[in-house]
């Protein structure tokens, strides 16, 4: 009997080796014939979404009459799967119809990877501004523009190899994604070469939370202070991506948030699922880990018509609990989840006329029309609550220069219950102060100013070649914009 297939199968440029190993690592294709759920909307391919350096395809499911300012979810399939497969089985179409949100399904192919895996383990495909990662980011930009989605409520989720890529996207683009959900996946930047991929899957490195967190911080734009809210889903009987990966993911993202690894709450759900929650300083869940007892490698689904059910069972879609329902609730997409601040939302209308009054290098001033019956207002930046104010004016401070932020406002009643959220506005702070850094190629990479690939070093952002990755080759890099460095060995103007 052939062994089950490996959805995280990491292959690029070694297809002969992959063919020889296919007997031991073969994955039964999950492309079942069932079509998408009944709806006037359907899964549609979208073209012209950017330069597409990662050679990916874009598919979207957009409910009819989608309102402007709706959330956007990007959902990444596992190996040998496709956009249609993930759309059919994961249940995201159910909640897109129910809550009013667009879903984009990036799709890779055998042209990129012999088993149609996202190349989560390749630095050239998983770093900011490069390869598949940039293609996925371009899809988000396209969807925001085409469907009028709220740029402050963009989320990403993925299964297995798609989960590994999701973690890398959250690290590389925390300014794009308000939240993420990693199903049977790997910590961000656990591997940046094929040889390390299997180690991560079968025996993940037991790094300290600080070391895991540093990998995220070095992948993100310099000066990042706002981070995505992250859900982690893992089966305890997974022999393909070992359950220890969920622990390392927890360590990584709680460290990024600076909240430690002691749970704020632990509770039991259906399907033998235990969820541990780690709150941020304001008491909102920042990281949640869902452990499904006895579940093997796959995405947790729960077929049925109940309010908390979703999806279709199949290869690597396992009938246990609807992870999509709980993920949407965690992000607040249902208007009643942790992401929106509680179980009892208020009834006040959304504040009208939210505008950007002024910007400086580090501040954004906002104003909106007062709401009758409101005793306070909650202000969210990039989907994260940053203030509660009694005034219809607010100035956000301590921001990074030359950076774009998205804001929404909700009115709260005397009981502190926030009502409907306003349409989002965006604001870009002014200015940028270039900086200079002289160090070895090794130190540049560990500091996040460069990245290593194939034993060579490249400047982050510009991609300029810097030579061998070692402690002996010295370069001066000038940071000319957030996350963008150029070689300045002949003199650094900054």
Strands 229-235 and 179-183: parallel
Given the structure tokens 């219809």, which residue do they identify? 392
The answer to whether 397 touches 366, Cβ cutoff 8 Å, is no
Catalytic, 160? Answer yes
Q: What are residue 143's phi and psi, to 5 degrees?
A: -65, -40
Q: What are residue 438's phi and psi, to 5 degrees?
A: -110, 120
SS3 assignment for the chain: CCCCCCCCCCCCCCHHHHHHHHHHHCCCCCCCCCCCCCCCCCCEEECCCCCCCCCCEEEEECCCCCCCCCCEEEEECCCCCCHHHHHHHHCHHHHHHHHCCEEEEEECCCCCCCCCCCCCCCHHHHCCCCHHHHHHHHHHHHHHHHHCCCCCCEEEEEECHHHHHHHHHHHHCCCCCCEEEEECCCCCCCCCCHHHHHHHHHCCCCCCHHHHHHHHHHHCCCCCCCCCEEEEEEECCCCCCCCHHHHHHHHHHHHHHCCCCCCCEEEEECCCEEEEEEECCCCCEEEEEEEECCCCCCEEEECCCCCCCECCCECCEEECCCHHHHHHHHHCCCCCCHHHCCCCCCCCCCCCCCEEEEECCCCEEEECCCCCCCCEEEEEECCEEEEEECCCEEEECCCCCCCEEEEEEEEECCCCCEEEECCCEEEECCCCCCEEEEEEHHHHHHCCCEEEECCEEEECECCCEEEECCCCCEEEEEEEECCEEEECCCCCCC
User: Which residue, 347, 348, 368, is CA-closest to 356?
Assistant: 368
Tokens of 457: 């070093």
Catalytic residue among 82, 90, 93, 160: 160
Within 10 angstroms of residue 470's Cβ, the number of other Cβ atoms is 12
Active site residues: 160
């Amino acid at each position: 009997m052939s062994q089950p297939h490996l959805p995280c199968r990491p292959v690029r440029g070694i297809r002969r080796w992959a063919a020889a190993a296919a007997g031991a690592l073969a994955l039964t294709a999950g492309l079942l014939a069932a079509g998408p759920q009944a709806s006037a909307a359907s899964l549609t391919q979208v073209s012209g979404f950017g330069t597409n350096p990662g050679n990916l395809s874009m598919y979207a499911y957009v409910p009819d009459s989608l309102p402007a300012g709706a959330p956007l979810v990007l959902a990444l399939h596992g190996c040998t799967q496709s956009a249609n497969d993930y759309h059919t089985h994961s249940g995201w179409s159910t909640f897109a119809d129910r809550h009013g949100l667009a879903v984009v399904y990036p799709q890779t192919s055998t042209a990129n990877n012999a088993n149609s895996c996202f190349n989560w383990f390749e630095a050239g495909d998983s770093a900011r501004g490069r390869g598949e990662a940039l293609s996925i980011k371009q899809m988000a930009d396209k969807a925001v523009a085409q469907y009028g989605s709220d740029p402050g409520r963009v989320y990403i989720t993925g299964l297995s190899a798609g989960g590994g890529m999701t973690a890398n996207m959250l690290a590389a683009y925390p300014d794009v994604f308000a939240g993420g959900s990693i199903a049977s996946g790997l910590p961000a930047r656990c591997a940046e070469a094929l040889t390390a991929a299997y180690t991560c899957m079968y025996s993940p490195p037991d790094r300290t939370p600080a070391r895991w967190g540093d990998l995220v911080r070095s992948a993100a734009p310099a000066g990042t202070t706002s981070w995505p809210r992250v859900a982690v889903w893992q089966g305890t009987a997974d022999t393909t991506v070992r359950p220890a990966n969920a622990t390392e993911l927890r360590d990584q993202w709680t460290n990024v948030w600076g909240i430690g690894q002691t749970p704020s709450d632990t509770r039991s759900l259906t399907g033998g699922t235990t969820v541990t929650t780690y709150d941020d300083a304001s008491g909102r869940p920042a990281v949640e880990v869902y452990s499904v007892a006895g579940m093997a490698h796959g995405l947790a689904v729960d077929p049925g018509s109940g309010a908390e059910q979703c999806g279709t069972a199949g290869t690597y879609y396992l009938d246990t609990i609807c992870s999509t329902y709980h993920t949407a609730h965690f992000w607040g997409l249902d208007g009643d989840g942790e992401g929106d601040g509680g179980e009892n939302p208020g009834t006040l209308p959304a504040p009208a006329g939210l505008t950007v009054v002024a910007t400086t290098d580090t501040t954004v001033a906002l104003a909106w029309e007062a709401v009758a019956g409101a005793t306070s207002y909650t202000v969210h930046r990039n989907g994260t609550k940053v203030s509660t104010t009694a005034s219809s004016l607010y100035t956000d401070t301590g921001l990074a220069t030359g950076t774009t932020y998205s804001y929404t406002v909700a009115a709260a009643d005397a009981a502190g219950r926030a009502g409907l959220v306003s349409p989002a506005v965006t604001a870009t702070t002014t200015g940028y102060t270039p900086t200079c850094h002289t160090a070895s190629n090794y130190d540049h990479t560990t500091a996040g100013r460069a990245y290593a690939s194939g034993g060579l070093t490249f400047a982050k952002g510009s991609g300029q070649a810097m030579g061998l990755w070692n402690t002996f080759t010295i370069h001066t890099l000038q940071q000319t914009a957030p996350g963008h460095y150029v070689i300045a060995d002949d003199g650094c103007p900054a």
